[in-house]
Chains A and B, each alone.
Chain A
Amino acid sequence: MKKQLLIIPFIFFLFISLTFFYLLIIERNPSELPSNLLNKKIPKFETESLLKNERFISSKEFGKEKILVNFFATWCKPCRAEHDYIKRFSKEKGIRIIGINYKDNPKKTVEWLRVLGNPYSDIPIDKDGRIAIDWGVYGIPETFVINSNGIIKYRHIGPVTGKIYKKINLLIKDIE
């Protein structure tokens, strides 16, 4: 009886080890967090636009077509690294790209886009970072995929890489 009971801690230990081992080998980034806004409506905002003379009003822009929202700044190095992928998205059909300019200098941004090319259809300015807080953003670059009903379907934290580009591209075709 006692010997049989002794096996229980071993089974338990094995179970814990396997769980940890599984979490170790699967591909995941523990510092990356799921968005709390996933499958929810986008947070409404209203601000100045860098490219246009009229104000940017989110309720007028979202909810008609699929939109990729990209938080970026000229001072952010990874934003420059992902810029080529954002440009590639702008050539894809069926999606519009809105770039939210996070705590940046408008003059520098215009120059940055002139040199690197502008993939954004509109650029709302987030001068004090409050829009980013409403979106639950904690480190730029961050990219959101919004469906044509104005609902957030995907969030990526950090620069878009080749792998993420493919993933988002498939998702865009998948969502309505």
Chain B
Amino acid sequence: MVKKKIVIIISICLVHFFLNYAQAVEPDEILENSEQELRARDISKNIRCMVCQNQSIDESNAPLAKDLRILIREKIKEGKNNDEIYKFLTDRYGDFILLNPPFKLNTLVLWIFPFIFFGIGIFIIFFHNKKSRKN
């Protein structure tokens, strides 16, 4: 009896483990062509869920995220390439929908600053060492 219960509990845990692994994508959304499905997953991981804002649509259970996942799969089936799909989404929702901000004039500071700070850091360390050696 106890053994049976343990088996049931373990199987429930296993099911939940795999459910989590499948993330928010629901079975009826998945494309038959696994190559296309993989592409859809890759794009979805890079698209922000506008409702929850810090999740990708691949992870989000929001209805809009589901709609966008289905839309992306439709576009893939229509034969659209990744750039065309990204453009479709940014035309409507702006660059904010991309989790990876593009390299543009207004994001220049965002991309360049770390390198500038790194340069300043190296300069300070070098400068400081030189001074202390003299002392």
Contact = CB atoms under 8 A, between A and B. Distances in A.
Interface of A: 2, 31, 33-37, 43, 103, 128-130, 133-136, 138-139
Given A2-B131, A138-B50, A138-B51, A34 B67 contact: no
Given A33-B96, A139-B51, A133 B91 contact: no
B64 A136 contact: no
A129 B94 contact: no
A133 B93 CA distance: 8
Contacts of B68: 133
Contact of B94 (A2, A36, A128): A36
Given A31-B53, A129-B64, A129-B67, A135 B131 contact: no
B90 interface: yes
Interface of B: 50-51, 53, 63-64, 67-68, 71, 90-94, 96, 131
Nearest to A40: B91
Nearest to A43: B92
Contacts of A34: 94
A7 B8 CA distance: 67
Contacts of A35: 94
A80 to B, nearest CB: 19
Lowest 6 A-B CB distances belong to which pairs? A138-B50, A36-B94, A136-B92, A136-B93, A129-B67, A33-B96
A36 B93 contact: yes
A139 B63 CA distance: 10
Contacts of B131: 2
A36 B91 contact: yes
B17 to A, nearest CB: 31
B67 A36 contact: no
Contacts of A139: 50-51, 64
15 contacts: A33-B94, A33-B96, A36-B92, A36-B93, A37-B92, A43-B92, A128-B67, A130-B67, A130-B71, A133-B64, A133-B68, A133-B92, A134-B92, A136-B92, A136-B93
